[in-house]
Amino acid sequence: MSEETLLLNRLRALEDDSNGYYVVLFHTSQLRPANRKKHYLDIAARAFDNLLSNFEATLYKMSSLDFVLMCHEVPVEEMDPVIHKVRQLFSEDPLTDSEDGSINDKFTTWYDLSQIGDFSTFVEKANVLAVEAAEQKRREDEIRSPNALPGERLGPKTAGEISQKLQSVMIEDLIREQTAVVMLPGAKGDVMFREQYVSMSDLQKRVAPNVNLFGSQWLFQFLTETVDRRLLSVLAARDLSNLADSISLNLNISTVLGREFQYFHQKVGEGTNKVIIELQMVDIFADMAAYKNARDLLQNNGYRVLIDGLSPLALQFFDPAMLEADLVKISWGQEFEAEGEEGRTDDMRTVVKSVGAENIILGRTDSEDAIVWALSLGINRFQGYYIDTVVEAMVVKGII
Amino acid sequence: MAEPDKASKHVPSQEKLLLDYLQRLDEHRENRKIVHLHLSKLKPYNRREHHVQAAVNGFENLIQGMFGQLFTLKNNDIFFFFTDNATAQTETVVQKVRFLFSDDPMLEDEPPNENRFSTWYDAEDQYEEVLKLVQNIMKVEEASKSRQQTRMDARSALKTRQKEGDPMTPEILARVEAVLERADLSNLMRRQFVCGVDRQMIPEQSFSEMFISITDLRETLTPGTNLMSNRWLFQHLTEALDLRVLSLLLKSDAVAISGDISFNVNVATLLSKEFQDFDDNIAASKRGSMIIELQNVDVLSDLGAFLFAREYVQDKGYRVCLDGLSYETMPMMDRERLGVDLIKLMWNPAMVDGGPDMHKNMRAMVKKAGPSRVIMCRVDNREAIDFGQSIGIGLFQGHFVESLIAEDNRRRELLRLKRRMERSEEEAEEEEGL
């Protein structure tokens, strides 16, 4: 029986006498996707262990990933530390920004079931959750149809086989392009560069349709080293000495310091000022000396170096200016626009000051709001799905 | 790829010319002044080639009029030597150049009574000061030049292979991981102490780190293979090792170890079922004596996961240590904001050559992080401890610290023997006296 059904049955049993009962609903389904993971919530649920064993309380874990805590005669002050604990776990999530029990509290809702109004409101809520759960289960079953094999976990052995295949598989037709633009006053724009990348999901379909390449972060990173080399060799075969617009490539530092890049460099010739090399934060921090070598090597030869992979969260902890690159790409995230999130916009303001607005690109721009927000901070360089449509429109109008 | 420095091998560098010029100036100090423009302190985006060129151009008239001589260093700093009678003109030029950079945070935030942009010297009585300054700049430059190149061309790859063994491959990783699941690793478990070290080099144990020796693991499982040759594959291997470490720690002898202990795991491991089992089997009172070490790279690869895991384990009573910081990454990590209890800074002799500015920064960082919360690790000689102490670090770990402990134990042993001898002598005397 599903948790939703168990909850509904319990509520039905309480219809006659709900004295001393109350419910705390945790809106954990509203966490950011990064935090809304089943194993995170399983860990969070353990915060209730003491309460459940010492009092008359039941925890229902909804399929939506919300928690319903049903209590009978549990002193309210016993609840507070538990809620606080769960909140703390997600303290970086905008959902927990408002204070416990404040008018803006989006994290929990309390229902006093002995009050007829609260009781019926909650029953309604429980019904909605049950319908949603059934709907979700139906969708999952559909996906798990007999034809679709579940994605195999990416282990070292599989990674080795995939890496072998990557050496020879055709990738020319999987190279995609995403344009970064500079927005200029008067609805004008300019191409800043065109990022060249291999579509990993298409590549997966070609080399390992049944393996989830993203299943293991480190093995995925390992595979990107081979992809880098293939991408470089394909691009090196093109005419790079006479590029109309600048291009950018996202590479591992080990690739930049390797042989294939040397060959690529020879092909680029005098055109290095039109090539931007994007490097990942995690790669940089893994070996700062290697990063400095790669950066100096690139900059001394006329390339521009871009730091990629900066999330809004990361900005709270580092100042990318210290890396002395030419450009910094920061991913747009809802944290930036959320209400009462002045603090996070302040982080961005600090970065604008230390890096220089003209050296910042807002990546993953997915809405008009993101653009408006960035422009208000002086940032006018963008990339992302929303920008793709803007670029298309500009091409149609002949602006670009 | 073209070597950018090739050309400069034949042409003396500006630094070298500046030093030569300074040495010649020693005889003609009178009526000469020097101004040092700190362009290196500007943000990188404000000191690109064209910015520096614009600054240099400002001095053109003075140079053509034979009023002075200019040097631009690799770090973009400018030194201008001029004669007394050109002081007013030079001041005007410096003012104009400064104006070019007025929107840089260095100047925007400059307090009214401070001059961050330029420093002025009189050669007559400040010659030694300038000489020392230039020599220092050269030393820092030399140190950064000698920084080991990590080029992975065929030649260096071959050299690495000869020195450190065959590179790691996914196939080897798969084999190693399969063996790990069954092998008894308890004889590969090592223990290393983190100690306070006083001025007399006497160590005082703070806690000990338990770890599986990678060198010994490699010798046992895959002799001739360099397990660390590929960063990403090694990182994956550590996740498999984590689970073994947890189960080894649970074995009674490891847990019964006296004193506080630390161990290194991945963030993903903390969020796994295996860690929950480990935690369930640890006495609640024991958690407070355990320190969980997390690697810098791992933390960065998913900050959200780290923050969640940190909150989770700290709430249970464990302490968290951020491991693997270098002198280059440390300035970027704010201990307090990351919410970790301790941080580990890896010793690197290059720190000593970093110059007074870097030392000042490091001292400030240690102070900010809290001196009792910073550990210098991989300490393999006395220089490391001397340097660490000079920037305010009090805790150390590494081979040299182990040898200090051994030495200290010997010393204590000797002292005990000596006392025993003295006592027996006393007793003998007393007997004689009777």
Which of A219, A282, A304 should one mutate to test binding to chain B, selecting the residue with the greatest count of B CBs within 10 A?
A282
CB B267 within 8 A of CB B306: yes
Residue among A304, A312, A375 at smallest CA distance from A338? A312
What pTM, to 2 d.p., does this model score? 0.81
Assess whether A38 and A119 both reside in one domain: yes
Please give the tally of structural domains in chain A. Answer: 2
Angle of the A156-168 helix axis to the A200-207 helix axis, nearest 10: 100
Residues from chain B that touch A359, judged by Cβ atoms under 8 A, are: 45
Which whole number is the average pLDDT over B278-283? 90
Assess whether A138 and A9 both reside in one domain: yes
- % of residues, chain B, pLDDT over 70: 91
Kindly tell me the burial class for residue B362, based on how many C-beta atoms sit within 10 Å of its own C-beta (0-12, 13-18, 19 or more).
buried
Residue B16 contacts A, CB cutoff 8 Å:
no
Domain assignment of residue A150, yes or no: no
pLDDT in tens, A286-327: 888 899 999 999 998 899 999 998 988 888 888 898 899 999
A288–B329 C-beta distance less than 8 A: yes
Residue A356 contacts B, CB cutoff 8 Å:
yes
Beta strands in A213-314 (DSSP E): 247-250, 275-280, 304-310
Q: Which residues contact B124 (CB under 8 A, 6 or more apart)?
A: B29, B30, B31, B32
Domain assignment of residue A264, yes or no: yes
pLDDT in tens, B79-115: 999 999 999 999 999 999 999 998 888 888 888 888 9
Assess whether A197 and A105 both reside in one domain: no
B103 or B197, which is more confident: B197
Transcribe A37-75 into DSSP letters: -HHHHHHHHGGGHHHHHHSEEEEEE-TTS-EEEEEES--
β-pairing verdict for B395-397 and A56-61: unpaired
CB B307 within 8 A of CB B329: no
Q: Of A335-349, B37-51, B70-84, where does mean pLDDT reach its minimum?
A: A335-349
Which whole number is the average pLDDT over B9-14? 63
CA-CA distance, B323 to B430, in Å (whole number)?
58
Pick the last residue of a domain from A143, A175, A193: A143
A89–B297 C-beta distance less than 8 A: no
Residue among A210, A180, A398, A400 at smallest CA distance from A308? A180
pLDDT surpasses 60 at B26: yes
Assess whether A250 and A371 both reside in one domain: yes
A259–B154 C-beta distance less than 8 A: yes
Band (pLDDT 50/70/90 cuts) for residue B6 is very low
A289–B232 C-beta distance less than 8 A: no
The torsion defined by the Cα of A6, A8, A10 and A13, in degrees rounded to 10, comes to -140
Closest residue in chain A to residue B337, using alpha carbons only = A317
Pick the last residue of a domain from A143, A171, A190: A143
Residues from chain B that touch A325, judged by Cβ atoms under 8 A, are: 44
pLDDT for the residue B253: 63
The one-letter code for the residue type at B287 is R
pLDDT for the residue A103: 75
pLDDT in tens, B107-153: 888 888 889 999 999 999 999 999 998 888 888 777 666 554 444 45
A289–B148 C-beta distance less than 8 A: yes
Query: Tokens 């007559």 identify what position?
Result: B124
The one-letter code for the residue type at B163 is K
Residues from chain B that touch A88, judged by Cβ atoms under 8 A, are: 311, 315
Which whole number is the average pLDDT over A169-190? 92
Distances (CA, A) of B287 to A118, A397, B258, B316, B341: 42, 65, 13, 7, 14
Residue A236 contacts B, CB cutoff 8 Å:
no
β-pairing verdict for B374-377 and B342-346: parallel
**Which residue from B153, B173, B311 is facing A91, i.e. has the nearest CB?**
B311
B312–A43 C-beta distance less than 8 A: yes
Distances (CA, A) of B18 to B134, B314, B327: 8, 55, 29
Residues from chain B that touch A265, judged by Cβ atoms under 8 A, are: 1
pLDDT surpasses 60 at A219: yes
pLDDT in tens, A119-147: 999 999 999 999 988 888 887 776 554 44
pLDDT in tens, A67-104: 999 999 999 999 989 999 999 999 888 888 877 777 77
Assess whether A169 and A106 both reside in one domain: no
Pick the last residue of a domain from A90, A122, A143: A143
Domain assignment of residue A386, yes or no: yes
B332 or A222, which is more confident: A222
Q: What Rg, from alpha-carbon coordinates, does chain A have?
A: 26
CB B247 within 8 A of CB B181: no
Assess whether A35 and A164 both reside in one domain: no
- % of residues, chain B, pLDDT over 90: 54
Residue B3 contacts A, CB cutoff 8 Å:
no
Q: First CA to last CA across chain A, in angstroms?
A: 59
pLDDT for the residue B28: 86
Residues from chain B that touch A218, judged by Cβ atoms under 8 A, are: 232-233, 235-236, 239
Assess whether A110 and A67 both reside in one domain: yes
Residues from chain A that touch B147, judged by Cβ atoms under 8 A, are: 289, 292-293
Chain B nearest C-alpha distance from A189 (Å): 23
Domain assignment of residue A389, yes or no: yes
Domain assignment of residue A162, yes or no: yes
Transcribe A315-356 into DSSP letters: HTT--GGGG--SEEEEE--GGGTSTT-HHHHHHHHHHHHHH-
**Whole domain around residue A7: which residue ranges?**
3-143
Domain assignment of residue A151, yes or no: no
Q: Which residues contact A148 (CB under 8 A, 6 or more apart)?
A: none
Residue B307 contacts A, CB cutoff 8 Å:
yes
ipTM of the prediction: 0.83
Assess whether A264 and A356 both reside in one domain: yes
| A 14-43 residues with CB < 8 A to B | 32, 34-35, 39-40, 43
pLDDT for the residue B1: 46
Residues from chain B that touch A89, judged by Cβ atoms under 8 A, are: 308, 311-312, 315
Domains of chain B by range and CATH?
11-144 (3.30.70), 167-414 (3.20.20.450)
Assess whether A60 and A189 both reside in one domain: no
CA-CA distance, B403 to B400, in Å (whole number)?
5
What is the CATH classification number for the domain harbouring A314? Answer: 3.20.20.450
A39–B308 C-beta distance less than 8 A: no
Q: What is the DSSP letter of A273?
A: G
Residue among A384, A230, A235, A360 at smallest CA distance from A306? A360
A261–B171 C-beta distance less than 8 A: no
**Which residue from B296, B301, B312 is facing A217, i.e. has the nearest CB?**
B301
Residue among A244, A272, A275 at smallest CA distance from A400? A244
SS3 letters across chain B: CCCCCHHHHHCCCHHHHHHHHHHHHHHHCCCEEEEEECHHHCCHHHCCHHHHHHHHHCCHHHHHCCCEEEEECCCCCEEEEEEHHHHHHHHHHHHHHHHHCCCCHHHHCCCCCCCCCEEEEEHHHHHHHHHHHHHHHHHHHHHHHCCCCCCECHHHHHHHHHHHCEECCHHHHHHHHHHHHHCCCHHHEEEEEEEEECCCCCEEEEEEEEEECHHHHHHHHCCCEECCCCHHHHHHHHHHHHHHHHHHHHCHHHHCCCCCEEEECCHHHHCCHHHHHHHHCCCHHHHCCEEEEEEHHHHHHCHHHHHHHHHHHHHHCCEEEEEEECCCCHHHCCHHHHCCCEEEEECCHHHHHHHHHHHHHHHHHHHHHCHHHEEEECCCCHHHHHHHHHCCCCEEECHHHHHHHHHHHHHHHHHHHHHHHHHHHHHHHHHHHC
pLDDT for the residue B140: 77
What is the CATH classification number for the domain harbouring A120? Answer: 3.30.70
| A 80-119 residues with CB < 8 A to B | 85, 88-92
Assess whether A130 and A244 both reside in one domain: no
Assess whether A131 and A163 both reside in one domain: no
CA-CA distance, A207 to B119, in Å (whole number)?
62
Domain assignment of residue A287, yes or no: yes
Domain assignment of residue A149, yes or no: no
pLDDT for the residue A142: 65
Which whole number is the average pLDDT over A367-377? 93
Assess whether A196 and A125 both reside in one domain: no
| A 159-198 residues with CB < 8 A to B | 159-160, 163
